[in-house]
Structure 1
Amino acid sequence: MKEAAKYLIKVDAEFRDGQIVPEISYDDVMRLVNEPNIVIVKTGIPSELLTKVIEGTRQWAAQTPLAEGPDTFDNNQHKQRLHIAKIQQAPQLFHDHTFDAIVELESTFKQTLLSVFDPMRNFWNSLTSNDEAFGIRKGEPYFHPQVTHYPLGGSFFGRHWHPLNPQKVGMILALNQYGKDYTSGGTGYVINNHIVETEGYHDLGDMILFRYDLPHWVSPSSFADRFNWDDPAGRWVSILPFYDPWATPAEKNEPQGWKTQIQSARNSPSKATV
């Protein structure tokens, strides 16, 4: 474990029998997240598994019509998001692939996705003391596995925020390599009025962990490149949200209570409480 920058801590891990095993305890990882810090876990997931997720997702998307209507949260879809979120007023420009019904996918592609999403799910369960499985459960929180592509030429996600619960900790796994596959764009955060940028720190196979109620964004990819939805170049990540899509959404105004919550977490015993 080492501090890479202010509020940015890297934690080594092993990928053992399909599990991400950190060098420190899960409780200590969660404590670091809640202090708060942005924690980058070097998962050790083999690069060939990550590459297969990108390739498999692109092949699946090529055979699946783009979704254009409102999200239903009960299917597998991909959408070119180009709008401003109504509640948070956060502008968006990225290609989103969401697998709410991951268990219903064709077997080979399902296993490709699960080779990455199962380790992420088990890691989240260990961090949050849960035992959640994949599957749609209307009226309750459930997992929404996503593979997101930020094309070159100006893709981004504006500053936004989420309720802390039930997610507690956000997870962003890098599927390709900064400096090789893309050279601009990364997730940024605000901690105690300090801007934390992860661009350049988030390498292939690294998983960012963050308190889910921290304001955050994805910085634009370079406008020096020509934008093209069909070009696979750019940043690819997998994320694993856990929420009830029919529950009360985040507030319109950016929450201020998170500063008080963070202060409480910092003063708590070594085992984090959320």
Structure 2
Amino acid sequence: MKEVAKYLIKVDAEFKDGKIVPEIPYDEVMRLVNEPNIVIIKTGIPQETLAKVIAGTRDWATKTPLAEGPDTFDNNQHKQRLHIAKIQQAPQLFHDHTFDALLDLDAEFQQTLLSVFDPMRNFWNSLTGNNESFGIRKGEPYFHPQVTHYPLGGSFFGRHWHPLNPQKVGVILALNQYGKDYTSGGTGYVINDHIVETEGYQDMGDMILFRYDLPHWVSPSSFADRFSWEDPAGRWVSILPFYNPWGTPAEKDEPQGWKTHIQAAKSATSEAAV
């Protein structure tokens, strides 16, 4: 375990029998996330496994028409996101591939996706004390596996936030390599009024963990490159949201409860010391 920048900690892990096993106990990892810090887990997932996810997703997308209507949260779709979120007013420009009905995919592609999403699911379950599996459960929280592509030439996701529960901790797995497959764009956060940028710190196979109610964004890829939806170059990540699509959405104002909690804890500590 090593702090590589303020609020940014790297933790080594072993990829064993399809599971990500960190060098420190899961509850210690969760404590670091909740302090809060941005924790980068060196998962050890083989690079060929990650590359196969990108290739398989691209092949699936060529055979699947782009979704254009409102999200239904009960299918497998890909959409070129180019709009401003109504509640949070967060602009976005990226290509997402969402597999709510992952278990309905053909066996080969399903197994390709599960080669990363199962380790992510097991790790998240171990962190949060859950035992959740894949599958759609209307009226309840469930997993929404996503493979997201940020093309070169200006793709991004503006500053936004989420309710803390039921996700608790967000997970972002890098499917390709910064400095080789893309040279700009990374996820940024705000912790105690300090900006934490992960660009250049997350390598292929690294999984970022963050407290889910932290304000965050994806910085733009360089405008020096020409934008193209068809060009596979750019940043690729897999994420594993867990929420009820028909539940309470994020608040319009940034949820700073974590910050209030930190200040209250500091005040209590100071008073106890007097």
Same fold (TM over 0.5): yes
* Aligned residue runs from structure 1 range 59-208, under 5 A: 59-208=59-208
2:92 is paired with a residue whose SS is strand
Summarize the Cα distance change of 1:262–1:77 in structure 2 as closer, same or farther, 3 Å threshold.
farther
Distance in 1, Cα, partners of 2:76 & 2:59: 14
Matched residue type, 2:223: F
State the AA in 1 paired with 2:149. H
1:24 matched residue in structure 2? 24
CA distance in 2, matches of 1:111, 1:184: 31
Question: Per-residue displacement from partner, 1:136-179 (whole Å, max 9, x unpaired)?
Answer: 00000000000000000000000000000000000000000000
Amino acid at match of 2:235: R
Question: Partner residue of 1:241?
Answer: 241
Partner of 2:214: 214
Give the SS at the match of 1:10. Answer: strand
Classify the secondary structure of the residue corresponding to 2:135: coil
Residue 15 of structure 2 corresponds to residue 10 of structure 1: no
Cα displacement string for residues 116-150 of structure 1 (whole angstroms, at most 9, x for unaligned residues):
00000000000000000000000000000000000
SS in structure 1 at match of 2:87: coil
Question: Partner letter of residue 236 of structure 1?
Answer: W
Percent sequence identity over matched residues?
86
CA contact (8 A) 1:36 1:262 kept: no
Whole-Å separation in 1 of the counterparts to 2:264 and 2:23: 26
- The residue number in structure 2 matching 1:37 is 37
Deviations 1:22-73 (A, max 9, x none): 0000000000000010000000000000000000000000000000000000
Q: CA deviation at 1:256?
A: 2.5
Distance in 1, matches of 2:266 and 2:128, equals: 17
RMSD: 1.3
In 1, Cα distance between equivalents of 2:29 and 2:237? 21
Task: Output the amino acid matched with 1:197.
Answer: E
User: Aligned partner of 1:85: which letter?
Assistant: A
Distance in 2 of aligned mates of 1:175 and 1:181: 10
Shift in Å, 1:91: 0.1
Q: Distance in 2 between matches of 1:138 and 1:192?
A: 36
Determine if contact 1:53/1:112 at 8 Å carries over to the other structure: yes
Aligned counterparts of 1:165 and 1:264: Cα–Cα separation in 2: 20
1:80 aligned counterpart, secondary structure? strand
Deviations 1:180-232 (A, max 9, x none): 00000000000000000000001000000000000000000000000000000
State the shift of 1:252 in Å. 0.9
Q: Match for residue 251 of structure 1?
A: 251
1:261, CA displacement in angstroms?
A: 3.2
Query: TM-score with structure 1 length normalisation?
Result: 0.96
Q: SS of the counterpart of 2:119?
A: helix
Letter in 2 for 1:42: K
Find the aligned partners of 2:66 and 2:3 in 1 and give their Cα distance.
Answer: 42
AA paired with 2:104? E
Change beyond 3 A, Cα 1:132–1:226: same
In 1, the alpha carbon distance for the partners of 2:187 and 2:95 equals: 16
TM-superposed CA distance for 1:255, in Å, is 2.0
- Answer whether contact 1:36 1:266 (CA < 8 A) is retained: no
Partner of 1:97, secondary structure, is strand
Residue 236 of structure 2 aligns with an amino acid whose one-letter code is W
Aligned length: 268
CA shift, 1:262, in A, is 4.2
Amino acid of the residue matched to residue 86 of structure 2? Answer: K
CA distance in 1, matches of 2:69, 2:262: 38
Residue 264 of structure 1, CA deviation: 6.4
Q: CA deviation at 1:260?
A: 1.8
Distance 2:266 2:173 in 1: 26
- Structure 2, unmatched stretches of 5+, are 269-274
Structure 1 residues 132 and 264, CA gap change in structure 2 (3 angstroms): farther
TM superposition score normalised by structure 2: 0.96
Instruction: Point out the structure with max Rg over C-alpha.
Output: 2
